[in-house]
Amino acid sequence: MTDDDRPMTDGNRPLELSREEMAAMMEAATERVIDHVETLPDQPAADLDGAEERAEQLREPLPTEPTNFDDLLDLLFDGAIPKSLNNPHPGFMAYIPGGGLFHSAVADATNRYVGTWFAAPALTRIEANVVEWFCEMVGYPDDAFGLLTTGGSMANLIATTTARRERLPQNFLDGIIYTSDQSHHSVAKAAVLAGFPPENVRSISTDDEFRIRVDELERAIEEDSEADGREPFMVVATAGSTNTGAVDDLDAVADSCQREDLWLHADAAYGGFFAMTDEGSDRLAGLDRADSITVDPHKGLFLPYGTGALLVRDGQALARAHAVEADYIPDWDPDSGLPDFSQLGPELSRDFRGLRVWLPLKMHGVEPFRTELREKLELAEWANERLRELDHVRVVAEPQLSTLAFRADLPDVAGEELDELNQELLAAINRRNRVHLSGTTLNDRFALRISILSFRTHREHVEQCLEDVAAAKEELLD
C-alpha cells in the first residue's frame, strides 16, 4: 500500500469535525442562544459594572492548547456577553437600537461568495432581489440599484466616492460638500477618506427643529460658486439624525440641488425604512429625489449589525465609479443586468449579506415590518405626550420619527449646573436597569434621548421607561 492509498487520520485533518462533533456543537450553542434570547426581558438593559476589569481578565497570549467548546460557551455567555450594553433588550432605547432578528443567524451559516455573478448566480440573484426591494421601499424607479454594505458609514463613503466620480471626474480637490451640523460624523469622515480636505466640508446650521436651514445652504453654495478654487458638487441631507431623529426638508434641498446640478445624497441610515409606512412616507417626502440613499437594515429592519445598504437612483453610476478589470476575474458587462457586486463598491471579498435580509422578509412578508415601524412612530408620540405631563421636564426635540430628546428644567438652575443635574438624571434612570437611555448635546446643553426602534420594544417597555424617568426625577428634584 502506498502513502496515497492509506486512509486519512484525524491528525492529517486537524480542523475537520465529525458529524457527531458538529451536531454536539450546534446543540450546545443553540441551547445557550435560545436561553439568551428568551431571557432578554429579564436581563439588565445594560451591565457595565466591572466590565473593564472583566475585559482585562480576558487578555491572554496566543493559545497553544485546545479548550473545550462548552467552556468557551460559558466564557462567552456567562462572562463576556453580559458585560455590555444589551442592545437586543426591549428596554434598550439608547442611541439607535439594533434588535438582531434570530432568523438572520440561521442565514449566515452557508458561507457562499456572491461578490461576482459567475461564482453563485442564483444566490447573487437573491441578493439583487433584496437591493431591488429596498429601492422599491424608498420609492426609487426601476432602473435604480445599489449594494449591501457593512453599515451606514461604508454606504456614505461609497456614495461620496460615486458622487465625486460622477460630478468631479478630474481634479476633485476643489470640490465642496454641504451637510448640516446634525449630520452623522461618518459624513465628514467619508469626505476625508474620499480624499477631500476637511475644510471642504461645509457645516450648515439647523433650525429650531434641528433641520438644515435651506436658506443658509443656498447662500453657502452661491458664495462658493463665485469663489475661485471652489466647486460645489454634493449635498448630504439627513433623513433621521442620530441626535434627535430630525428629517431635513428633503424636497426643498432637492430643489436647491436640482437648480445647481449638485449630487444629493440622503443619509437615511436610521430613518429610511419608515418610508414603508404612510406616516413615515409623509415625513420623508422628497427622499426618492435623492441621487443616492443610505439605509441600514440593521436599524429599520431589525437585522443583525453589519447589514447596511447604499441605493443609487442611476443604477449604472456605481459601476462607473468602481468597476476595474483583472486577469483573474471574469469579464463583466454592466449592461447585462447581472450584477457583480464587487464592481459596484470597494469590496471584492465580502460576506453573503443578502441572505440574512431575504430569509426573514420571505418568511414573514413585508407587512409585519411595516406594522413594527408604525408602532415605533406611535410609541414615540405617546412618550412625548407623557413627558410633557411631568413637572420640571421639558421636551427639547419632539419626535419627527421614533427618537425624542428631553431634559430636566428648573427655574433656579442653569448652565453647567443644570447639565450636571441632567447627567445625574440619566445615570439614575439607567441604574434601575429596566431601560437604558443615552445623552447628547443640543444647542450646547446636555439632553437625554429616547430612541424607540427595536422590534422587541412595545408599549409596556416605554411605560417602564417613563416610570423610571418620573422616579429618577422625584429622587433628584423633588
DSSP string, 280-346: HHHHTTTGGGSSEEEE-HHHHT-PPSS-EEEEESSTTHHHHHH----TTS----TTSS---GGGTSS
Residues with Cβ within 8 Å of 366's Cβ and at least 6 positions away in sequence, in order, are: 133, 276
Cα–Cα distance, 305 to 218 (Å, whole number): 36
For the chain, the residue count is: 478
Residues with Cβ within 8 Å of 361's Cβ and at least 6 positions away in sequence, in order, are: 130, 133, 301, 369
pLDDT at residue number 359: 81
Residue 462, pLDDT > 60, answer yes
What are the pLDDT digits (tens) for 150-160? 999 999 999 99
Collapsing DSSP to helix, strand or coil, 382 comes out as helix
Say if residues 146 and 134 touch (Cβ distance below 8 Å).
yes
Collapsing DSSP to helix, strand or coil, 46 comes out as strand
Of residues 119 and 468, the one with the higher pLDDT is 468
40: nearest Cα among 469, 411, 456: 456
- Phi/psi at 173 (nearest 5 deg)? -65, -15
CATH class of the domain whose range is 368-477: alpha beta
**Positive or negative, the Cα torsion across 131, 133, 139, 141?**
positive
Cα–Cα distance, 92 to 350 (Å, whole number): 30
Average pLDDT over residues 405-411: 92
pLDDT at residue number 217: 98
User: Element (H or E) spanning 73, and its range?
Assistant: helix 69-74
Cα–Cα distance, 294 to 90 (Å, whole number): 26
Say if residues 40 and 82 touch (Cβ distance below 8 Å).
no
403: nearest Cα among 277, 246, 239: 246
Residue 17, pLDDT > 80, answer no
Q: What topology is assigned to 106-364 in CATH? A: Aspartate Aminotransferase; domain 2 (3.40.640)
Residue 303, pLDDT > 70, answer yes
Write down the residue that cell numbers 421636551 correspond to: 395
Taking the domains of the chain in order of start, what are their residue ranges?
106-364, 368-477
**Positive or negative, the Cα torsion across 169, 175, 178, 184?**
positive
Residues with Cβ within 8 Å of 404's Cβ and at least 6 positions away in sequence, in order, are: 244, 245, 380, 383, 384, 387, 395, 397, 398, 449, 450
Average pLDDT over residues 1-13: 49
pTM: 0.87
Cα–Cα distance, 164 to 168 (Å, whole number): 5
Cα–Cα distance, 4 to 418 (Å, whole number): 78
Question: CA dihedral defined by 283, 406, 151, 280, rounded to 10 degrees?
Answer: -20
AA letter at 455: F
Share of the chain above pLDDT 70, in %: 93
Least confident of 32-41, 59-68, 340-349, 378-387: 59-68
Cα–Cα distance, 91 to 458 (Å, whole number): 9
pLDDT at residue number 6: 41
451: nearest Cα among 394, 406, 391: 406
Of residues 87 and 382, the one with the higher pLDDT is 382
Cα–Cα distance, 408 to 217 (Å, whole number): 33
Say if residues 130 and 358 touch (Cβ distance below 8 Å).
yes
pLDDT at residue number 3: 47
Identical fold at 106-364 and 368-477? no
pLDDT at residue number 408: 94
Copy the grid coordinates of residue 419.
447639565
What are the pLDDT digits (tens) for 18-75? 888 888 888 888 888 888 888 888 888 877 788 777 777 777 776 777 888 888 888 7
Write down the residue that cell numbers 420623508 correspond to: 284
Cα–Cα distance, 164 to 120 (Å, whole number): 31
Cα–Cα distance, 370 to 373 (Å, whole number): 5
Residue 356, pLDDT > 90, answer no
What is the distance between the terminal CA atoms of the chain, rounded to a whole angstrom?
89
Measure the CA angle with vertex 305, ends 303 and 310; round to 5°: 80
